[in-house]
Structure 1
């Protein structure tokens, strides 16, 4: 069962991720700075909607990159040989990030348009403001809750459906051994992947509550509140006192915990990929010509001369 077998594999991925995670963070920061500069330039040239979609795509790409690295490590741990390099992962991360952003934007827009009619007002109506929308939402809490859940589930489900193709892209080949075809295997293993992604999200939420609570119980509530208040008043310049304490006591433990939840999601996709590899028959190799079938004449001229009658 994918769900149960993913947990042991997640720890095999986890210790490897701990070793390379600082390198990934530095690379993402450098790349993020370059991309951010590009976005600022595009913001002066393109409409706001297009720039927003691009920013969303970049965020999804940055989220995808650690997953691709973790999936690659998990597949290598299971004995799969990559056909690409780590540098090739950036292109797949950008591609899948852009696709997720576009699909999420289009589907969300459709959901909002349909919901607007259900709430009793046409989208893009003249004079329609935020207060009108909030009023309509407050008058129908059930529909508003359903709308909120739907909009949040859309990117989640798209991400889960793309986990199998992303696992294939991490080593550059599909389950049949051929070079990776984008989106091959879309939706495979969707249920176990969703379950493990939900487990990962639950662990993340629990960590956000438990880690500050443990820190406060050790350092004291006053220490935590003073450090947070000092950070809240930060306006640039030298970092305020308490920054290192917050990082060591809250941020760093949370990152260590979050790295395992990433490893768990990677393990889910790796297990689905490996199971599909076992179920996919290898591509048959071309059968060599049997020498007993007669000589193989590759030269057209020689073939023609052999068919000509012999003259004396």
Structure 2
């Protein structure tokens, strides 16, 4: 028996002659944060809308916590909490009214605890349009959790937030993970995906281009690793011949080298520093970032 809470197999969604989603497959285990990454128009939001039961699928199969969201729409709403990319409420609705409305829809008691959890309990008499973007996002997430869902879908949850707002929302997402909530996260923010997600799929033109942990995806990049090294006597220069390393540039007193085998390159650099009777002040190894790997795929480059 599969241990996947979310299972998507061969998903197809067409709009006329256009295939927005063309055979996407992935699975998410209990308590995982799974990221869907891709450029605009890649099919991420359409995939989520199919999974939420908001769009009729044209092929494939979706199961969420043992439920088919295409058929069991009433059941799925008590299994899944959703924060849509374009979540919005009427400008004039009070925070307390929004919470009461969603609680009534789920046939549950008023969740003042969620407002307190997200730091907006003091805003219950404020109208929606009076809230900051960050406060609105926290309200949307609170509303998505009214039914104590086992699965939460987050579509660009931190879009438009400042650094502090993103950090606060990320903390709330991590709290949900500690509670063993399964989350599916669609985002354009590579740092967000790298910091939060256990597994990711990069979607290009309606298909999955690569799947793995953020570490596995970056490790598969063809881009070289960079080694930045600062020494006391600046013995490393562009004229040095270092086995397994190629001089890249000098920056801020650092000599920067590229390599495909960092162990070989670091050993050769250390040997050169020792031979020059020099010493290392700082050494940094920078593997290709998730953003670089993403851009490599989007531009048509193939991963290893």
Q: TM-score, normalised by structure 1?
A: 0.26
The structure whose residues are more often helix, as a share, is 1
Q: In terms of Rg, which structure is larger?
A: 1
